[in-house]
């Protein structure tokens, strides 16, 4: 099975090289593609100088579009599966083979790496938001997720096509709810994650509010019209 | 419709017309998009010159005053315009993203073959 790790990167000069190195060392059989989403820092230069597999978006287009770029690449190069992998080093590549196994054995469309299944507790506001989204996804998509906001997800070829050709699909829980409601199989496997290894988080209040508003509105309202 | 409202309509329409034609002269607006504003100006001027139109329509629809009808009509037209603008911006965003994606995918940098 040919698997592509799609790594969207926007201003990730602090950790992109280390993230790719550990991915390549841990999973030498897996291809990867960094999608440099119009970074204004040294990300592009690092990718060029180190000879890392990447494409450069000429402008910053946002995570959804950056991820879609990777999915278009995966589709055009005939990959069987693609895994959404953070550039900041949060995701641990050693779980990718287990995700691939789950994808095949359980004939799943989406496999999510769940911190909760691995025994971690999502505390504070993050935990509340996660449980709220979990409930909404369960109500509308009929699938119980322990860690819906986990950003480490593997998709099969059918999902690659959906993301590559679809309109306004985010690599977020609202799309998972949509896929589940339309009969797609979504499963979780236990996986630990670590703190981001460098760079800046976008988890400030205005981003969180916009993320929650968009995700909730998409799951509760807009998905019924899609 | 009061006399002052009629004058204001004409003054507003004239000012808008000047701004729009100026934008065309300076290549800041395409003619396709300017047509809406020119028609809007024309409509305001017609209503100001022939207030009987607004009076008749407002009585027909049960408005207390013709000016209320004019206000509501203008707000409705602007909301429709705002909505079409919103969809156009959405379409533009999608197209810009798609162009950027295709440009990026034209020249991918492949990883060097494995050393082993």
A170 has pLDDT over 70: yes
pLDDT at position A195 is 86
Mean pLDDT of chain A: 94
Average pLDDT over residues A52-65: 96
Maximum average pLDDT range among A167-171, A196-200, A207-211: A167-171
pLDDT at position A87 is 96
Residue B45's nearest CA partner among B82, B79, B13, B85 is B13
Summarize pLDDT for B39-93 with one digit per residue, the tens: 999 999 999 999 999 999 999 999 999 999 999 999 999 999 999 999 999 999 9
B106 has pLDDT over 60: yes
Q: Which two tokens stand for residue A143?
A: 């699938």
B113 has pLDDT over 70: no
Judged by a CB distance cut-off of 8 A, whether residue B32 touches chain A is: no
Contact (CB<8Å) A61/B100 = yes
Summarize pLDDT for B20-44 with one digit per residue, the tens: 999 999 999 999 999 999 999 999 9
Lowest mean pLDDT among A16-25, A72-81, A123-132, B22-31: A123-132
Per-domain boundaries in chain B: 3-106
Q: What is the CATH number of the domain that holds A165?
A: 3.90.550.10
A111 has pLDDT over 70: yes
Q: At what angle do helices A63-76 and B66-106 cross, to 10 degrees?
A: 40
B5 has pLDDT over 60: yes
Task: Count the domains in chain A.
Answer: 1
B23 strand-pairing partners: none
pTM given for the model: 0.89
Element of type H or E holding A22: helix A16-26
B110 has pLDDT over 90: no
Q: Which two tokens stand for residue A107?
A: 């004939």
Q: Which chain B residues contact residue A65 at CB under 8 A? A: 97, 100-101
Contact (CB<8Å) B97/A167 = no
Q: Provide the domain limits for residue A215.
A: 3-225
Q: Which chain A residues contact residue B101 at CB under 8 A? A: 57, 61, 65, 68-69, 72
The per-residue DSSP string of B35-74 comes to HHHHHHHHHHHHHHH-HHHHHHHHHHHT-S-HHHHHHHHH
**What gap in Å lies between CA A162 and CA A156, rounded to an integer?**
10
Average pLDDT over residues A20-47: 96
Judged by a CB distance cut-off of 8 A, whether residue A28 touches chain B is: yes
Q: Which residue of B has its CA nearest to A169?
A: B94
Please list the alpha-helical segments (H only) found in A62-156: 63-76, 96-105, 124-141
pLDDT at position A202 is 65
């Amino acid at each position: 099975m040919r698997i592509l790790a799609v790594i969207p990167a926007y201003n990730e000069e602090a950790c992109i090289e280390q993230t790719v190195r550990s991915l390549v060392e841990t999973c030498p059989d897996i291809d990867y593609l960094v999608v440099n989403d119009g970074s204004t820092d040294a990300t592009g230069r690092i990718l060029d100088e180190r000879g890392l597999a990447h494409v450069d978006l000429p402008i910053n287009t946002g995570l959804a579009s950056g991820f879609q770029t990777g999915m278009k690449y995966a589709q055009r190069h005939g990959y069987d599966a693609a895994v959404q992998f953070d550039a900041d080093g949060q995701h641990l590549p050693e779980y990718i083979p287990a995700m691939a196994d789950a994808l095949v054995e359980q004939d799943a469309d989406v496999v999510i790496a769940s911190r909760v299944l691995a025994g971690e507790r999502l505390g504070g506001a993050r935990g509340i938001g996660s449980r709220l989204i979990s409930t909404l996804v369960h109500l509308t998509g009929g699938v119980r997720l322990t860690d819906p906001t986990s950003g480490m997800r593997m998709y099969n070829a059918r999902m690659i096509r959906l993301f590559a050709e679809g309109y306004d699909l985010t690599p977020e829980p609202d799309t998972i709810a949509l896929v589940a409601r339309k009969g797609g199989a979504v499963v979780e496997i236990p996986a630990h994650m670590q703190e981001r290894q460098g760079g800046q988080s976008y988890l400030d209040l205005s981003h969180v509010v916009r993320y929650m508003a968009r995700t909730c509105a998409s799951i509760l309202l807009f998905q019924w019209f899609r | 419709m009061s006399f002052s409202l009629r004058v204001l309509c004409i003054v507003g329409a004239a000012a808008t017309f000047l701004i729009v034609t100026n934008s065309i002269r300076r290549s800041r607006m395409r003619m396709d998009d300017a047509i809406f504003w020119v028609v809007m100006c024309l409509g305001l001027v017609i209503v100001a010159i022939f207030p009987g139109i607004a009076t008749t329509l407002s009585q027909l629809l049960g408005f207390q005053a013709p000016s209320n009808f004019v206000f509501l009509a203008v707000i409705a037209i602007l909301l429709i315009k705002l909505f079409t603008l919103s969809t156009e911006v959405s379409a533009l965003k999608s197209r810009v993203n798609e162009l950027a994606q295709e440009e990026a995918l034209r020249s991918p940098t492949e990883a060097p073959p494995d050393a082993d």
